[in-house]
Amino acid sequence: MDKKIEGNSKDEKTSSELKVTSRDMNEGAEIWLGEKIKCLDHGFIYLVDYMGNDSSVAQAARTSYGKGTKSVSNNEGLIRRLMKDNHTSPFEMVELKFHAKMPIFVARQWIRHRTASVNEYSGRYSEMISEFYVPASSEMTKQSTKNKQGRSEDALPPEVQMEILCMLKNDANLAFYDYKKMIDAGFSKELARIGLPLSTYTEWYWKIDLHNLFRFLMLRLDKMAQKEIRVYAEAIAQILKSSYPLSFKAFEDFTLYAEKLSRQEVIALGELGMFFIKGKFQEAVEKAGIKNPREIEEFKEKLIRFGITFEIDKV
């Protein structure tokens, strides 16, 4: 039987007569709702809910400078300008909520991104799940001599790999065996958990706006980020690429794959400059995929600042 809905409208409607939602849909995000992406050996991440789409970003930006601007700047051009000029608040109007399961040591890196709402599985109320992360043999490498907080690409000898894997598994299994024994003896869960390893899996719901999610990806997609958290960042990027294609492309172009130069580097480029580029500028711009006239002009201005001169290509 249909439920009668009473509201401010003149006519009462039944639930079957109402639309599923009146908000703007995000077709790309809808596809990802509830779709788990496997991460590491026992982990996952999936999109639980979202608010907004690319148009929401543009809509928020246009609100700040009045009506009548939509015909001047389409959504793609506007979003690219927002990203390029670091106008971040319109991206904060979009939010996403994820459910993720990861090892505790990954969660402790993840939680450093503080501009999010988090609700984590509680070892005080519930028993910890007997699952822990074991790295694949391809990840069993030596400590980096250049990066004190990372690992190198130099693999350990196979026999050393096997020995370490056995130690990791044995230590974790023993820790969980003792944990279960303490729980069965009536010991409090909040204290019994303290002997469990950092490889133990935890999970949480994580809600964050699009601007701060891009900040997360900027750091965690970097090749210097730890591989185990980079796996989750890559999964999130996969979701965003189809859910917010215009915003994500702008993020890739102006943040993720862009290079920032220091003042000294700009000066050094000027000293190395005074190149004369003839008949190549337009060809280079086309190969790079720079289409927006304003972006092309700004690129020319940068070249001049770097001491690079050129002739305008003849049509």
Task: Please state, for a pLDDT cut of 90, what percent of the chain lies above it.
Answer: 65
Question: For the segment 232-248, what is each residue's pLDDT rounded down to a tens digit?
Answer: 999 999 999 999 999 99
Q: What is the rounded CA–CA span in Å between residue 202 and residue 198?
A: 10
**pLDDT tens sequence across 58-73:** 999 988 655 444 533 5
Query: Which amino acids are annotated catalytic?
Result: 220
Q: What is the pLDDT of residues 246-275, one digit of tens each?
A: 999 999 999 999 888 788 777 777 766 655
- pTM (predicted TM-score): 0.84
pLDDT digit string (tens) for 13-67? 555 555 567 778 899 999 999 999 999 999 999 999 999 999 999 999 988 655 4
